[in-house]
């Protein structure tokens, strides 16, 4: 997306529906459906749940669905006239049955444009090489894997979190092991109950957000907003010990959030200086990454978030934040227009300044996934 075009509209005082003509040459056809086969159209089972642009090309987009299918499509073909509700299977360049359950998310491997990381409700984590079709398996989680992130600039080390409340650290360079009929790698570090605060706590909150903020620090968020965001040190030999957790980012009115209100997604800005956390409190919190400041420096409003699948992402070329929502729209904030408190925010104020500058309508259901290409075109 061209940041110059966005700035032309950034002076609007309230959320605006982007006119169709504004993005006429940059958007897909209304009600365009991409399906692997016609049965999905006729049975109304087209259910793409996550998407990610390939780091190899701005024209290549990965899509994954509730049934574990992973496809690679060529979006450069969108400029050709196509009838609404057409199957559009000709856009698919590759497809694979990646998992036996829903693919929760797709992550690009740093420095490896042909590789992606996928994780799923089947508890497995996989790395795929699109050019060769080869797959690497990682096992150790016991429940749905909810989130994952690579160490900055490293194609080997990554971290995942699951619905069971555990955090696992993986290294692709370790030797594979055999487990029944499966050959894969086990984690090199793990924290079994990352957000369990006491032995009297019956259940451990799910880990719902992971962001690697440096080569040695990882931030994790959970389904319990009262726990805040925990920061742990990968240099510690045992992540289950309290000494491994070096800090906690605090939420406003911490320990007062109602049950079921938690973090849905974490992301870093293009400079890796700000950490954003979307939550089911219908807010997006910004923290100073790798800083001693524990309170949020900004809080963004204007988005309705209910589903834990709702994602946020930052533009790689401009200061814009994009969020999915449960209100059939995606939203964009211009971060340069929103004041921030470098010492930490103490008051949660919903004002015009904290509202998104764009509301991107057109979807017929909730928008869980948002993504930017490498050049944000």
Q: Whole-angstrom Cα distance, residue 58 to residue 377?
A: 7
Q: How far apart are CA 366 and CA 369, in angstroms?
A: 9
Q: Tokens representing 170? A: 């993986």
Is the pLDDT at 298 greater than 80? The verdict is yes
Q: What is the pLDDT of residue 323?
A: 97
What pLDDT, on a 0 to 100 scale, did the predictor assign at position 24?
40
Which two three-digit tokens encode residue 367? 């928008």
The per-residue pLDDT for 196 is: 80
Give the strands of the sheet with 103-108, arranged side by side.
103-108, 115-120, 125-129, 135-138
The residue that leads in pLDDT, 349 or 309, is: 309
Provide the pLDDT for residue 4. 39
Mean pLDDT on 321-344: 89
What the block records as the tokens of 19 is 């006119």
Q: What pLDDT does 83 receive?
A: 59
Q: What is the mean pLDDT of residues 304-316?
A: 94
**Cα angle 154, 156, 158; round to 5:** 85
- pLDDT reported for residue 207: 97
pLDDT for 346 beyond 80:
no
Give 28 or 83, the one with higher predicted confidence: 83
Do residues 42 and 36 touch, judged by C-beta distance below 8 A? no
Residue 278 predicted with pLDDT over 80: yes
Q: Which pLDDT belongs to residue 156? A: 98
26 against 164, higher pLDDT? 164
Q: Which of 290, 297, 280 is nearest to 338 (CA)?
A: 297
Q: In the predicted model, what is the mean pLDDT of residues 78-99? A: 74
Digit-coded pLDDT (tens) for 203-240: 789 999 999 999 999 999 999 998 999 999 999 888 88
Rounded mean pLDDT, 254-274 = 86
Using CA atoms, how far apart are residues 329 and 303, in angstroms rounded to an integer?
9
Q: Has residue 35 got a pLDDT over 60?
A: no
Indicate the burial class of 80 (C-beta count within 10 angstroms; 0-12, 13-18, 19 or more): exposed
Tokens linked to 1: 């997306």
Does residue 329 contact residue 361 with C-beta atoms inside 8 Å? Answer: yes
CATH for 1-29+256-377, among 2.130.10.10, 1.10.1510.10, 3.40.50.1110, 3.40.50.80? 2.130.10.10
CA distance 8 to 170: 44
Average of per-residue pLDDT across 316-326: 95
- Mean pLDDT for the chain? 84
The pLDDT value given to residue 187 = 96
Least confident segment among 42-46, 88-92, 135-139, 166-170: 42-46
Residues 151 and 20: their CA atoms lie apart, in Å, by 39
Give the residue, 205 or 27, on which the prediction is more confident: 205
Q: Note the pLDDT of residue 39.
A: 45
Task: Label residue 255 by pLDDT band (50, 70, 90).
Answer: low
Nearest-CA neighbor of 197 among 159, 228, 232?
A: 228
High-pLDDT (> 70) share of the chain, %? 80
Domain limits, the chain: 1-29+256-377
How confident is the model at residue 48, as a pLDDT?
84
The pLDDT-based confidence of 91 (bands split at 50, 70, 90) is: confident
54 pLDDT above the threshold of 90: yes
Supply 78's token pair: 């969108």
């Amino acid at each position: 997306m061209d940041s110059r075009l966005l700035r032309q509209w950034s002076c609007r005082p309230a959320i605006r529906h982007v006119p169709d003509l504004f993005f006429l040459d940059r958007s897909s056809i209304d009600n365009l459906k991409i399906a692997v086969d016609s049965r999905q159209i006729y049975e109304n089972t087209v259910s793409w749940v996550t998407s990610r642009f390939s780091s190899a090309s701005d024209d290549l987009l990965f899509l994954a669905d509730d049934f574990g299918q992973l496809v690679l499509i060529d979006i450069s073909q969108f400029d050709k006239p196509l009838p609404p509700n057409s199957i559009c299977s000709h856009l698919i360049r590759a497809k694979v049955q990646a998992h036996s359950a829903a693919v929760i998310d797709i992550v690009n491997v740093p420095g490896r444009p042909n590789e992606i990381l996928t994780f799923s409700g089947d508890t497995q984590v996989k790395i795929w090489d699109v050019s060769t079709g080869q797959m690497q398996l990682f096992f150790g989680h016991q429940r749905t894997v909810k989130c994952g992130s690579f160490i900055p600039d490293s194609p080997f080390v990554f971290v995942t979190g699951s619905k069971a409340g555990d955090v696992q650290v993986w290294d692709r360079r370790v030797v594979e092991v055999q487990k029944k009929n499966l050959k894969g790698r086990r984690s090199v570090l793990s924290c079994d109950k990352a957000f369990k605060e006491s032995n009297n706590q019956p259940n451990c909150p799910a880990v719902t957000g992971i962001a690697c903020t440096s080569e040695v620090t990882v931030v994790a968020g959970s389904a319990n907003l009262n726990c805040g965001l925990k920061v742990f040190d990968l240099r510690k030999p045992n992540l289950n010990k309290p000494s491994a957790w070096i800090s906690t980012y605090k939420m406003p009115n911490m320990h007062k959030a109602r049950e079921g209100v938690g973090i849905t997604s974490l992301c870093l800005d293009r400079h890796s200086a700000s950490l954003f956390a979307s939550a089911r409190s219908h807010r997006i919190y910004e923290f100073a990454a790798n800083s001693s400041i524990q309170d949020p420096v900004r809080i963004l409003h204007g988005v309705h978030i209910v589903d834990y699948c709702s994602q946020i992402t930052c533009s790689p070329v401009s200061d814009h934040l994009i969020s999915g929502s449960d209100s059939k729209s995606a939203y964009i904030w211009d971060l340069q227009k929103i004041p921030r408190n470098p010492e930490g925010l103490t008051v949660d104020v919903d004002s015009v300044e904290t509202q998104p500058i764009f509301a991107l309508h057109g979807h017929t259901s909730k928008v869980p996934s948002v993504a930017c290409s490498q050049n944000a075109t």
